[in-house]
């Protein structure tokens, strides 16, 4: 199969907000206990955090981690997780029918985040609780001293405020599964009042209001409109969530699902702009895609898990090669919408539908989906550039005109780097790709990374990395002309770099900078 791409230095979509490479840790399954935290493990530090997990999280270079839920947050008393650990209560978590021992809470998680080189994106409970609890946790977290909650934090041994900047106003409040689900009117009012109190407490924070739990919810669209009608001037982002599964074993259709994600983003951005117009507002509300991934391999095994135990192995999806391709397409879709999507969280980070898995007492290992995420996070910072692809398309059960190539580019001007991310959706044929890359004189192709495996159901495990990246040779870039071969069913990163002689800033780059 043949195809062509055209890239121009000026075909800018927007600046990539690094927070689109965020992730998520919920008090769910083995994400916290036996995931990031396992005291007594040979690799644990003095606080019980697993250093091997911290290393993998740093390898992914995740700038924000949403916490503590998810569905969990809608029944959570944040005060249960502060103060002396031996005095903390064990609670029944009604979201996942497990026992929550509260050995990890806000302070410990903020400390873990520092060690992981990331920031906390905190969610407040707008299910069983409301504006009062929301403003209190913010005061405890962000005010330096001299007030009841800030001094309580200091008395707990955390002298400095945590300085958490991004806050979620609840989670999936439209979902019947949510603890204390609300109607759009009820949630819009509660979110508006919580937002007011929170911004009065700390005006430097940014707030995310709940959008629909997914685009197939019966109230999708009208939910966003009503919620934004109440909250527009008080919040900064509206959330989107999506999970895909290949339930029917139809891989071409599964690989087309990112088209649905793209249209979801454009629709929600449109609703934000519609409410903006109606309100004659000058403010733009952007998008936080704070849950996205492939899910549901674990659906049947989860039915066997007994209730009311601590940290059961729930939602432990083992990801395949084809899942990595879908994750790659989803990452590209986020980048293609970099003008509106300003934060995003792959859900989740460790053990629970996650790129990183741990064995209790054993190793931590990388799932197939770890790799596209790591590549995008490391090489996808800068300005997102539109890529025009001309080549084959196909139709599937649910989608039409799916291009065989899903692609986007990111230009890091200071680092003199251009990264082209590309998924060849053709399961049978390699794609011989020609490229016209305009405005990148003095660049050369330094690396073609690929992730592929002829067996689309291949998985990794604690013992075996069947799916891992390789470097391909044979590609070229001369006089603005790119020529590469993308293997069938593959994720690819084409890395172009400005040569020393044409980049006056070379030599000023910081060490460790991936570009
Ligand atoms: O990520 C798992 C769950 O998916 C989250 O708790 C919830 O918000 C969503 O439904």
**Cβ 123 under 6 angstroms from ligand 1:** no
Indicate the top mutation candidate among 121, 124, 171 to test ligand 1's pocket, ranked by most ligand atoms within 8 A of CB: 171
Q: What is the pLDDT of residue 501?
A: 66
Closest atom of ligand 1 to 315 CA is 2
DSSP 3-state of 126: coil
Closest atom of ligand 1 to 96 CA is 6
Question: How many Cβ atoms sit within 10 Å of the Cβ of residue 412?
Answer: 20
Q: Is 291 considered catalytic here?
A: yes
Q: What is the pLDDT of residue 507?
A: 46
Given the DSSP bridges, would you call strands 470-472 and 443-451 parallel, antiparallel or unpaired? antiparallel
Going by alpha carbons, the residue nearest to atom 7 of ligand 1 is: 70
- As its CATH architecture, domain 17-379 has Alpha-Beta Barrel (3.20)
Contacts (Cβ under 8 Å, ≥6 apart) of 420: 5, 7, 387, 407, 408, 409, 435, 492, 493, 494, 496
The active-site residue, picked from 100, 108, 172, 322, is: 172
Report the separation in Å between the CA atom of 364 and the middle of ligand 1, taken as the mean of its atom positions.
23
Going by alpha carbons, the residue nearest to atom 1 of ligand 1 is: 347
Q: What is the DSSP letter of 459?
A: B
Count Cα neighbours of 275 within 13 Å in the Cβ-side half-sphere: 24
Going by alpha carbons, the residue nearest to atom 3 of ligand 1 is: 70
Q: What is the DSSP letter of 73?
A: G
Cα gap 286→304, rounded to integer Å: 40
Report the separation in Å between the CA atom of 487 and the middle of ligand 1, taken as the mean of its atom positions.
34
Backbone phi and psi for residue 208, each to the nearest 5 degrees, phi listed first: -115, 120
Q: What is the DSSP letter of 397?
A: S
Q: Which residue spans of the chain are classified as CATH 2.60.40.1180? A: 2-11+383-505
**Cβ 70 under 6 angstroms from ligand 1:** yes
Measured at the CA of 115, the angle between CA 114 and CA 120, to 5 degrees, comes to 35
Q: Is 119 considered catalytic here?
A: no
User: Which of 477, 426, 479 is CA-nearest to residue 456?
Assistant: 426
Q: What is the pLDDT of residue 503?
A: 61
Given the DSSP bridges, would you call strands 2-8 and 431-438 parallel, antiparallel or unpaired? parallel
Cα gap 20→376, rounded to integer Å: 10
Cα gap 251→47, rounded to integer Å: 44
Q: What is the pLDDT of residue 508?
A: 45
Q: What is the pLDDT of residue 451?
A: 98
**Cβ 174 under 6 angstroms from ligand 1:** no
DSSP 3-state of 363: coil
Cα gap 466→469, rounded to integer Å: 10
What H or E segment, with its residue span, contains residue 434? strand 431-438
In sequence order, the β-bridge partners of residue 384 are 14, 410
**Cβ 168 under 6 angstroms from ligand 1:** no
Report the separation in Å between the CA atom of 77 and the middle of ligand 1, taken as the mean of its atom positions.
18
Q: What is the DSSP letter of 37?
A: B
Backbone phi and psi for residue 122, each to the nearest 5 degrees, phi listed first: -100, 135
User: Which of 260, 267, 213 is CA-nearest to residue 241?
Assistant: 213
Indicate the top mutation candidate among 76, 168, 244, 291 to test ligand 1's pocket, ranked by most ligand atoms within 8 A of CB: 291
CB 345 within 8 Å of CB 353 = no
CB 207 within 8 Å of CB 167 = yes
Q: Give CA separation, 76 vs 158, 239, 260, 348, in Å.
A: 21, 20, 33, 19
Contacts (Cβ under 8 Å, ≥6 apart) of 309: 98, 99
Going by alpha carbons, the residue nearest to atom 5 of ligand 1 is: 70
Q: Which stretches within 202-281 are classed as H helix?
A: 222-231, 251-255, 257-278
- CATH superfamily, domain at 2-11+383-505: Golgi alpha-mannosidase II (2.60.40.1180)
The size of the chain, in residues, is: 515
DSSP 3-state of 327: helix
Q: What averages of pLDDT result for each successive group of 10 residues across the chain (515 residues)? A: 98 98 98 98 98 98 98 98 98 98 98 98 98 98 98 98 98 98 98 98 98 97 98 98 96 98 98 98 98 95 97 98 98 98 98 98 98 98 98 97 98 97 98 98 97 97 97 96 98 94 53 44
Q: Which residue spans of the chain are classified as CATH 3.20.20.80? A: 17-379
Contacts (Cβ under 8 Å, ≥6 apart) of 297: 245, 317, 318, 319
Report the separation in Å between the CA atom of 214 and the middle of ligand 1, taken as the mean of its atom positions.
11
Backbone phi and psi for residue 50, each to the nearest 5 degrees, phi listed first: -75, 120
Report the separation in Å between the CA atom of 423 and the middle of ligand 1, taken as the mean of its atom positions.
27
Report the separation in Å between the CA atom of 171 and the middle of ligand 1, taken as the mean of its atom positions.
8
């Amino acid at each position: 199969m043949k195809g062509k791409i055209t890239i121009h230095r000026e075909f800018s979509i927007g600046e990539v907000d690094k927070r689109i490479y965020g992730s998520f840790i919920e008090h769910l399954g083995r994400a916290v206990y036996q995931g990031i935290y396992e005291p007594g493990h040979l690799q644990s530090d003095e606080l019980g955090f697993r250093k091997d997990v911290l290393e993998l999280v740093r390898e992914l270079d995740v700038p924000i981690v949403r916490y503590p839920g998810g569905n969990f947050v809608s029944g959570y008393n944040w005060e249960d997780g502060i103060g002396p650990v031996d005095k903390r209560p064990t609670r029944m978590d009604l979201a996942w029918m497990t026992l929550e021992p509260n050995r990890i809470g806000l302070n410990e998680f903020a400390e873990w985040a520092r060690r992981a080189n990331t920031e906390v994106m905190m969610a407040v409970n707008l299910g069983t609780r409301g504006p009062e609890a929301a403003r209190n946790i913010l005061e405890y977290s962000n005010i330096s001293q001299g007030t009841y909650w800030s001094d309580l934090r200091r008395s707990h041994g955390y002298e400095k405020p945590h300085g958490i900047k991004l806050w979620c106003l609840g989670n999936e409040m439209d979902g019947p599964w949510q603890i204390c689900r609300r109607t759009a009117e009820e949630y819009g009012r509660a979110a508006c009042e919580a937002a007011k109190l929170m911004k009065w407490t700390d005006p430097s924070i940014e707030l995310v209001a709940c959008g629909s739990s997914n685009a197939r919810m019966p109230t999708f669209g009208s939910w966003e409109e009503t919620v934004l009608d109440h909250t527009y001037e008080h919040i900064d982002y509206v959330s989107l969530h999506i999970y895909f599964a290949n339930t029917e074993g139809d891989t071409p259709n599964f690989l087309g699902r990112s088209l649905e994600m793209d249209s979801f983003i454009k629709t929600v951005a449109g609703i934000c702009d519609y409410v903006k117009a109606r309100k004659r507002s000058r403010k733009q509300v952007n998008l936080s895609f704070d849950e996205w991934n492939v899910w549901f391999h674990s659906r049947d095994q989860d039915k066997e898990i007994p209730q009311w135990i601590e940290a059961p192995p729930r939602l432990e999806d083992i990801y395949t090669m084809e899942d990595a391709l879908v994750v790659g397409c989803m990452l590209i879709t986020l980048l293609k919408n970099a003008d509106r999507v300003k934060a995003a969280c792959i859900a989740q980070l460790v053990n629970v539908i996650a790129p990183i898995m741990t064995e209790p007492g054993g190793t931590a290992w990388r799932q197939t989906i770890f790799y596209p995420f790591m590549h995008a996070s490391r090489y996808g910072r800068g300005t997102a550039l539109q890529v025009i692809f001309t080549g084959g398309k196909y139709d599937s059960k649910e989608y039409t005109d799916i291009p065989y190539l899903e692609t986007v580019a990111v230009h890091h001007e200071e680092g003199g780097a251009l990264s082209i991310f590309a998924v060849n959706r053709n399961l049978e044929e390699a794609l011989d790709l020609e490229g016209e890359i305009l405005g990148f004189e003095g660049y050369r192709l330094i690396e073609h990374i690929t992730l592929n495996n002829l067996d689309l159901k291949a998985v990794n495990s604690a013992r075996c990395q069947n799916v891992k990246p390789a470097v391909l040779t044979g590609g070229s870039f001369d006089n603005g002309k790119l020529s590469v071969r993308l293997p069938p069913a593959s994720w690819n990163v084409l890395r172009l770099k400005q040569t020393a002689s044409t980049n006056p800033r070379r030599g000023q780059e910081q060490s460790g900078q991936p570009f």
